[in-house]
Each structure stands twice: as structure tokens, then as C-alpha cells.
């Protein structure tokens, strides 16, 4: 089932729509926003120079720091009396990034999230358990209004209070679960410890997970333990929130809603365009946002894009699951490492769970890496021989697959701190 005919439009229609909307967006920001006018002028560029989507590379990049530098509302392109919603980042590393929406933008957000829900098989008969945080974070409310748009019943559970969430999922008959994958695993651990029968106690059929890079192994684990179809959603507050792309039942790649978002892949060092299928940094231009249109936003997320149509009938380009971030990539003794790569090795190891943490430090002038991994409940901590074998196997896999020497430390079940939001996977003590 497909929510909108736009999702299965011919490639030429998609690109015609993108070209028309890119021209409109370029003209709008140049006429209204001093920041973009200055950027265009510095490049000697006028909006009418944009003839097609191929001209996107002439346009200037926008970075997260640009939003911080114009805090709070300096990049808005509508007067404040037209702004009906404000969201922002946490601001833990300085001023938060602030985003605004007018009525039109709220309709666009509900529309793309309706597409996400439809991909997961959600309709008016479903009960959506929304475990994303409500508040300034875009997750909770983005998922909330999308579910209402398709007519589903929404349980606004938000984050935390695991026991209570499990009770509500059971008693209210939730059929769709929306939360981070790490929190889904955490809830499964708690339910299992309480003696729950997953097939009998819960009616879940699908889950929509996002907000953190996730390995194929973790996706498979979440799907298996809950007995559900796993759908991955991607988004970021600067662009719209959740709803930029989502995976369907036929592909582990995520369909980008190209009539609203123009996506590129660039070399994160040079800024040059990368060929289809090659990994690089994802750059997104909003095509229909009015309150805060963004030109060529450098997301920092590493992925790849292909244009081949999908078996589901959708024709929009598909992006690979986020491999990692350009700014959270670890360089250990000259080797580039993403947390999701380490997670993939752990997922293929026996006797351990997918709860882990990577600790980078220095030993003299050299980097050293320690990987903490929780053992499974059925492995005894006093089984020295078995523990040593598991440890050596993981260390060998990390060396053979990622070319890194790491000290693997096996720790007790549930000893690594859990998070109701994005899991903290990396601690870099070298900084």
C-alpha cells in the first residue's frame, strides 16, 4: 500500500517537480533572508541561474553552525505571527539549533509521516505506541501527528518509565511500536525478565525505529525478539524532523521523499559530488518548507544513494542506513571506525548481547581501544574458559574485519547504562 501517488511517479516527473520547487526555494530565500542573499552574492549567483537540479552544486552549503550563529530566529523566512510551532536541539554543545514551522510546514510534516506509517502497514485500525520523547525534540510530536493523519489511535507514551510502557502496550493492544531501537531492546529485556510471553501478551505487528545509527544485527534482533516487521525512519530537526525517508517491506534501504527533499552525496572533505552508490556525506535541500527553508544542509551523516525503483512500486531514490557520522567517526591509530561497524561484529558473535560501549584512550603516543560488551544471561561469569573464548573471538573478528586491535572486556548483563533516547556508544577520552 502506498499513501501518495507522488511516491511512484516516473523519474522524469520527480525531477521536473524537484527543479520547479528548487527554483522557487532559491528565489524565496534570496528575496527574504539576508543570510542566503549574502551567500549567493559572495558566489556571484542569482536565483535565475538555477535552471535544473543539476545546478544544485552551484548553491552554497548550510551548516549547523549557521543556525547557531543566527539563534534563535535569524534564518526564519516568515514573520513570527505565522510560526505555529518551534522545536530545537538540546544545545548541549552551545546554543541550540532552533527550527520553526508554519501551517503549511505542519501539513508537509504530517504528509511525509503518513507515508512512513503506510510503509509499516499502519491504518485506522491500528494502535500506535509512541515511545519517542515529547517536547522540543521533534521525534514525539512528529510521530504523533503522522499517526493521526492516517487515522490510527495514538498512545503518547513518550520516553522512560519502562514498566509502565510495557503495561500500556499490553493493556491497550498496541500494534505499532515507535521508539529508538536501543529502547526497544531495553523494553524487551525488562519484559523478558518479568516472564512475558511476547506472542501472547503483545499484539505488535510492526515497529518504526530511528534516531540512532543501527547495524543489521541490531535490526534483526529487535525484529526477532518482538516478532515484528522492522521499519527504519530517518530525519533530522533542521530539515523537518522524522519523515525524510523510511524503509519498506521490500528493501532495507530507505525511500527518500524526493518531492519534498533533494538529497546529494558529497565527499565530506572536498565537498565534491559522489557517484550513485558511493558512500559520502548526505546533503539535503528542503523543497517545500516555508518557515525555515534550508539550502544544501550538511547533515554530517554518512550514507549512499541509489535511484533504482523498488519492488514495492515506489520510484523515489533510496538511501543506505546511516553508517555513522562524519563527526563521530573514530580514527584509531590511523584506521577509520564507525560504531555501527563494531556493532555488526558484536551482532555476529555468540554469547553476548548488543549492549556495548566503545572507549578510546591514549597509551603513551598511541591510541588504545576498549570495547565493553554485555554477556548473555545464559553465560555464567565464572565460566572462565568460555568467557575467554568469547572475548578472543570478538577481538579476532574486530582485527580481521576492521583492522583494529581492541581490548574486549566482557561485563555483566544490564551493567552498561541504558538510555531512553539515543544510546551513548562512544566515549572518547582522548579529546
**Which tens digit of pLDDT belongs to each residue from 224-260?**
999 999 999 999 999 999 999 999 999 999 999 999 9
Note whether 231 and 206 are within 8 A (CB).
Answer: yes
Q: Which residues contact 183 (CB under 8 A, 6 or more apart)?
A: 131, 159, 418, 419, 420, 421
Phi, psi angles (nearest 5°) of residue 293: -70, 140
Q: How far apart are CA 295 and CA 326, in angstroms?
A: 19
Unique residue bearing C-alpha cell 532559491: 26
User: Sign of dihedral through CA atoms 308, 314, 315, 321?
Assistant: negative
Could you give the domains of the chain?
A: 1-325 (3.40.50.12780), 330-428 (3.30.300.30)
pLDDT at 92: 43
Cβ–Cβ < 8 Å for 242, 139? yes
Q: Are strands 335-337 and 352-363 parallel, antiparallel or unpaired?
A: unpaired
Q: What is the longest distance spanned by two Cα atoms in the chain?
A: 72
Work out the pLDDT band at 420, boundaries 50, 70, 90: low
Strands 229-236 and 297-303: unpaired
Q: What's the pLDDT at 367? A: 83
The mean-pLDDT minimum among 59-68, 106-115, 181-190, 325-334 falls in 325-334
C-alpha cell at 180: 529508538
Question: Which residues have CB under 8 Å from 171's CB, separation 6+?
Answer: none
Nearest in space to 110 (alpha carbons), one of 153, 144, 87: 144
Decide the pairing of beta strands 98-101 and 297-303.
unpaired
Higher pLDDT residue, 135 or 53?
53
C-beta atoms surrounding 183 within 10 Å: 27
Whether 39 and 60 have beta carbons less than 8 Å apart is answered as yes
363-374 tens-digit pLDDT = 876 789 999 999
pLDDT one-digit tens code per residue, 343-382:
889 999 999 999 999 999 988 767 899 999 999 988 876 6
Nearest to 101 by CA among 6, 241, 287: 241
Cell of 62: 548550510
- The pLDDT, as a whole number, for residue 260 is 98
How does pLDDT run across 16-52, given as a tens digit for each residue?
999 999 999 999 999 999 999 999 999 999 999 999 9
Average pLDDT over residues 253-281: 97
Amino acid at each position: 500500500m502506498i499513501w501518495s501517488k507522488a511516491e511512484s511517479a516516473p523519474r522524469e516527473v520527480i525531477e521536473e517537480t524537484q527543479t520547479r520547487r528548487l527554483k522557487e526555494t532559491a528565489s524565496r530565500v534570496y528575496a527574504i533572508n539576508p543570510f542566503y542573499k549574502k551567500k549567493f552574492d559572495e558566489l556571484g549567483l542569482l536565483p535565475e541561474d538555477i535552471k535544473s537540479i543539476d545546478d544544485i552544486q552551484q548553491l552554497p552549503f548550510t551548516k549547523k553552525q549557521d543556525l547557531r550563529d543566527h539563534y534563535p530566529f535569524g534564518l526564519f523566512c516568515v514573520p513570527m505571527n505565522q510560526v505555529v510551532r518551534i522545536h530545537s536541539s538540546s544545545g548541549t554543545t552551545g546554543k541550540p539549533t532552533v527550527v520553526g514551522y508554519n501551517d503549511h510546514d505542519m501539513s508537509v510534516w504530517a504528509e511525509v509521516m503518513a507515508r512512513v506509517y503506510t510503509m509499516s502497514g499502519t491504518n485506522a485500525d491500528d494502535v500506535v505506541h509512541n515511545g519517542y520523547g515529547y517536547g522540543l525534540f521533534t521525534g514525539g510530536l512528529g510521530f504523533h501527528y503522522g499517526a493521526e493523519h492516517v487515522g490510527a489511535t495514538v498512545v503518547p507514551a513518550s520516553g522512560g518509565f519502562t514498566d509502565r510502557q510495557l503495561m500500556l502496550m499490553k493493556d491497550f493492544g498496541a500494534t505499532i511500536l515507535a521508539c529508538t531501537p536501543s529502547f526497544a531492546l531495553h523494553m524487551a529485556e525488562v519484559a523478558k525478565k518479568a516472564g512475558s510471553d511476547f506472542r501472547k501478551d503483545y499484539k505488535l505487528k510492526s515497529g518504526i525505529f530511528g534516531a540512532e545509527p543501527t547495524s543489521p544485527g541490531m535490526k534483526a534482533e529487535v525484529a526477532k525478539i518482538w516478532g515484528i516487521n522492522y521499519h527504519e525512519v530517518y530525519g533530522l530537526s533542521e530539515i523537518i524532523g522524522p519523515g525524510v525517508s523510511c524503509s519498506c517491506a521490500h528493501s532495507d534501504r530507505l525511500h527518500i521523499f524526493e518531492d519534498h527533499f533533494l538529497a546529494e552525496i558529497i565527499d565530506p572533505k572536498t565537498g565534491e559530488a559522489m557517484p550513485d552508490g558511493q558512500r559520502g556525506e548526505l546533503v539535503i535541500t528542503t523543497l517545500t518548507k516555508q518557515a525555515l527553508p534550508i539550502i544544501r544542509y550538511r547533515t554530517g551523516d554518512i550514507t549512499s544513494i541509489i535511484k533504482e525503483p523498488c519492488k514495492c512500486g515506489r520510484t523515489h531514490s533510496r538511501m543506505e542506513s546511516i553508517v555513522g557520522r562524519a563527526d563521530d567517526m573514530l580514527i584509531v591509530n590511523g584506521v577509520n571506525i564507525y560504531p555501527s561497524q563494531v556493532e555488526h561484529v558484536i551482532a555476529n558473535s555468540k554469547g553476548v548481547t548488543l549492549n556495548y560501549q566503545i572507549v578510546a584512550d591514549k597509551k603513551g603516543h598511541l591510541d588504545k581501544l576498549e570495547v565493553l560488551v554485555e554477556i548473555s544471561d545464559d553465560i555464567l561469569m565464572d565460566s572462565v574458559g568460555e568467557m575467554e573464548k568469547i572475548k578472543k573471538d570478538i577481538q579476532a573478528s574486530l582485527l580481521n574485519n576492521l583492522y583494529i586491535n581492541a581490548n574486549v572486556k566482557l561485563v555483566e548483563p544490564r551493567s552498561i547504562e541504558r538510555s531512553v533516547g539515543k544510546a551513548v556508544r562512544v566515549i572518547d577520552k582522548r579529546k
